[in-house]
Structure formats: C-alpha cells, structure tokens
Structure 1
C-alpha cells in the first residue's frame, strides 16, 4: 500500500514539474497584458521614462531585502559576467519598457499587444541566426501564424492596404521594442548561473540605473504630474505584477523549456490585453 501511495505521489510530482513551466509562461503574459493596458490608461498622466524608472526602482527596493544574502553570494559571478548582465538589463528592462510606454501615447493598447505577436518569430529568428538553433514544424507553424497576425494588425485587416502602408509612431516604436525584448529572451541562455531572484534584482537595479539620467531630464523639462491615488496604484502595480511576478515567471519558464518553445506564449499577451482594453479602455480591435 505504501509503495502505491509513494508511486502516486511521485507521479503527481512529475506531472507538476512537467506542467510548471507552462503555468509560469501563462502568468507572465497575463501580467504583461495588464502592464500594456495600464500604461495606455495613464499615458496622459505619467511620462514614459518616469513610469519605467519608478517601476524598476520600486521593484528593486521591494525585492532586495528578500534576496540580499543570495545577491551578495552571487556578486562575484555578476562581476565576472558584467557584459551580458548589462546587455540583458538594457534590452529587457530599460529599452523595451521605455519604448512600450512611449508607444502607447500614439497607438492603442490593443495594437501594442498585437504587434507583440511577432515576438516569438523574432526570438526564433535571432536564436537560429546567432545560436544555430533548430526549429521543428510546430514552431514553423507558430512563427507563420505570428507573422500573419502581426501583418493583419499593421495592415488593419486589409491586405490591400499594403500598397499604401504607413505606420503610426507608436507602431514603429513597438516594433523596435519587440526586437529588443526578443534579443533579451534569446540571450537569457547566456546569463550567469545565479539564483533567479538574484538575477532579477541585479537586472532591475542596472536597468533603473541606466534610466536615472533620462528620468532626471524628464522631471526637469517635462510637465510635473500629481502623485495622487491613481498614480501611486499604477506605479505599484507595474512594480510588482509585470515586474517581479512576470519576469520571475518568464525567466524561469524560459530556462526550463527554452526560448523557442517558451517564446510562443507571448501570443497570449494580445488575447489578454485585447480583452482588458475592450473592457476598461473601450478600445476596439479595428
């Protein structure tokens, strides 16, 4: 009897372990979808660099006490791999988010989310070009759907618009942002072998550090914003769920099953974000 119970427990553990990366890779897009929608909602209130800088600074402050001992232990490896740490912090933390928060000023939250449907294809393309990764038929089919979906967004659902193709500034910024985050995801394989939370706290801190001069410039030369209840809630949300929860889930999921397979879960962002934007921002798909 004990052997049967033990065998059942072991099977459950194996199933949980096998399914865990997929659960993590669903949590991340759900949080990021909320980030896109909220950023669009506060676009006229909080400047983009300020939102990004405060997001990462507060996330860093929240996370640091829980990771302090581990971060101290990992310091040597971080210094040893300082180039890749700076690269990942710039692409995945600083640049991607500033571009996204700037993009929502001139395009919709739905468009920003739908353009991200091209990210899995971009991740796979970069992985194949730079790391000689092999892709299977399922991944090719997924990439094709991503490209078609992104094209439909850009062409507003009409392929006849190709001849008079034009982009809003926000669309272009979002495309560039997608490239940066695809680079981040593809190069995660080269990150130092440190604790996942330690990696987050270092990249958050480095990313915020690089944003600091631009934040100060924005505070001096841009219109001041009132730190009211809605602004505080927005900043706290982006500092926790799309930052700590989403990045930990994404990085761990990618580490467990790889960037090519895991990257396909980015396609959930348009699904979640479209529903949120329709409900809370009264946006429409076309």
Structure 2
C-alpha cells in the first residue's frame, strides 16, 4: 500500500477524508486492545519508546530523500514540531499506556470518548468556532451509542463504576489528543505528510528518551519475546505511521470538530474485533450502540448531503 494517497492531492475530498479517519479509528482500536493485553509484559515507557523507534525506522528510507526539497518548509516551521510531538507523540500515548496499569477498559473508553467534546471546547475557546444544532444532535447521538456499548445496555452499571488515578491519566491523554487535533490547523501548507510525521516523531522521541532511560535504570526492561515484538511491530507501523498520517490528512480536510467525531467509532471496532477474534457474542445493545454512533456521525458530518452532491 502506498502512503502517497494520503498526500495533498486527496485531502480536499471529504468522503476520502472520512475513510481515512475511519481507518485511524480501526487501527487505534487495535492499539488499545494490545496496550491492555501487554500491560503486565511491557513497561509503559518502553512500549512507547520502541514504538517510535520502529516508526522512525520505517519512515527514514522514505523521508530522507525528500528532506532536501522540504528543508525550507521544515526550517520555517521548526518551532511547531516540538508542540505537535509533545501533544500527539509523547503525552497522549504515554498517559494511555500508564493508565492501562491502573484503570479498567470500561473507564478508559468512557473518558476517551470525551475527546470530540474537548475538541469542540478548544475550537470554541481559542478560535471562536461554533457548532450547529445538527452537529450537536450528531455528537450526542454518537456519544449515547458509545455509552450503550460500554455500559452493556444497562444504565445501572454506572452505579458500580469506580474511578481511580488512571482515569485522570486517560483524561489527560484525551485533552492532549484534542489539543493535537485542533493544532493541526497550523499544519504547514505544502509539507509532505510523511516528512511532517517524521519531524514530530523525532521531537516526541526526544521527550520520551530521558523517561525511558530512567525506567531502564529502575530495572524495567522490555522482554524480547514473540508477543512483545509483534505488539511493538503493530503499534510502530500501523498505529504510529499509517493511522497518524491518515488522521492528520483527514483532520486537515474536514476540520477537528467534524473529524473528531470518528473517535466514537473505536468502541464499534473494538466490539467487532472482540466478536471476530475473542469469540465474544454480538448482543442487542451492541447493535443499538453501533446504530446510534453511525447515525450520529452522519448527522455531525452531513454525510447524506455529501453523497447527494
């Protein structure tokens, strides 16, 4: 698969952007599942560090030949790359991986679903951009669908939820990702998507490195096993390269307020993955939740109007 399709020539097409955002949600659903599965096997900073080592290794042979032509744009925007690296590469992933050691999957999914609301809040505060009544209907419908899936169709489940420090970490991660998505409006025009990702990954890895060294000094090392290598390979190639480029391109095309709604697809894909690979059974509340999420996204993105145009 060639990542060139995620470049400038296609990002102006809303339907294509929605497909890219859907792809990101699918891949990151797998990332959440993996990070929970290996929480007792791979230290959180170690997983994050080696994830981006793999991503940078994949990007290097593609990006290095392009650096000469792209250097003027890179040099003109040197100040923004650390910001993107901090919010999108370091903080979000680090806080999620740390949270998986101290919170439940249900709590993490609930708090993570606040991302679209945080995106709207940030764009409203910092860019004075409002939300239409139709978009609010879509947002609330999809959020309701997420809650139905997570609570297994039983509102009484809320009474049994307990919150921990891990939930605050997830909230911090959600805030960081919302800030990253909103800041994509400052993406340098004409900059190659893979060059952009390489620059922010390099900056993010510089933030991660001292934390990784501290973790190793304290005796927490990454074991070399088939499970650890496969997990790092998945998060390094798919979750870090493919999903990031797809998300960046999609958000640049349709904006953070609309594109952020696709985060709500993650519980949908998590449900589908569980049915396919974990032999879980598809329940009525799954179908109702998925229906509400899809209808909500259609409202929030005005997808029906796009299909008619």
TM range (shorter): 0.7 to 0.9
Q: Which residue is 1:128 aligned to?
A: 124
Matched length: 269
State the distance in 1 between where 2:215 and 2:247 align. 30
1:250 counterpart = 2:219: no
Distance verdict in 2 for CA 1:159–1:277, change over 3 Å: closer
Q: Which residue is 1:6 aligned to?
A: none
Q: Residue 82 of structure 1: SS of its match in structure 2?
A: coil
State the distance in 2 between where 1:278 and 1:169 align. 30
Q: Which residue is 1:235 aligned to?
A: 232
Q: Which residue is 1:116 aligned to?
A: 112
1:106 counterpart = 2:123: no
State the distance in 1 between where 2:165 and 2:158 align. 21
Q: Which residue is 1:7 aligned to?
A: none
Match of 2:207 among 206, 210, 213: 210
Q: Residue 94 of structure 2: SS of its match in structure 1?
A: helix
Q: Residue 79 of structure 2: SS of its match in structure 1?
A: helix
Match of 1:143 among 139, 144, 151: 139
Higher helix share: 1
State the distance in 1 between where 2:50 and 2:72 align. 27
State the distance in 2 between where 1:106 and 1:64 align. 35
Contact in 2 for aligned 1:110/1:274 (Cα 8 Å): no
CA RMSD of aligned residues (A): 2.8
Q: Residue 223 of structure 1: SS of its match in structure 2?
A: coil
How high is the TM-score relative to the length of structure 1?
0.84
5+ long unaligned stretches in structure 2: 1-9, 286-309
1:68 counterpart = 2:39: no
Contact in 2 for aligned 1:92/1:180 (Cα 8 Å): yes
1:77 counterpart = 2:61: no
Match of 1:19 among 10, 15, 26: 15
Distance verdict in 2 for CA 1:226–1:119, change over 3 Å: same
Contact in 1 for aligned 2:73/2:188 (Cα 8 Å): yes
State the distance in 2 between where 1:146 and 1:86 align. 33
Match of 2:223 among 221, 226, 231: 226
State the distance in 2 between where 1:45 and 1:124 align. 37
Distance verdict in 2 for CA 1:33–1:114, change over 3 Å: farther
Q: Which residue is 2:178 aligned to?
A: 182
State the distance in 1 between where 2:185 and 2:33 align. 30
Q: Which residue is 2:43 aligned to?
A: 47
Q: Which residue is 2:89 aligned to?
A: 93
Q: Which residue is 2:269 aligned to?
A: 272
Say which is worse superposed, 93-102 or 75-84, in terms of deviation: 75-84
**1:38-90 Cα distance to aligned partner (Å, 9 max, x none):** 00000001111111111112101111211212233323323322232111110
Contact in 1 for aligned 2:47/2:222 (Cα 8 Å): no
State the distance in 2 between where 1:45 and 1:242 align. 19
State the distance in 2 between where 1:18 and 1:138 align. 18
5+ long unaligned stretches in structure 1: 1-13
Contact in 2 for aligned 1:118/1:150 (Cα 8 Å): no
State the distance in 2 between where 1:239 and 1:160 align. 35
**1:161-213 Cα distance to aligned partner (Å, 9 max, x none):** 4xx98512222211110000000000100122211111111111111111001
State the distance in 2 between where 1:185 and 1:203 align. 13
How high is the TM-score relative to the length of structure 2?
0.78
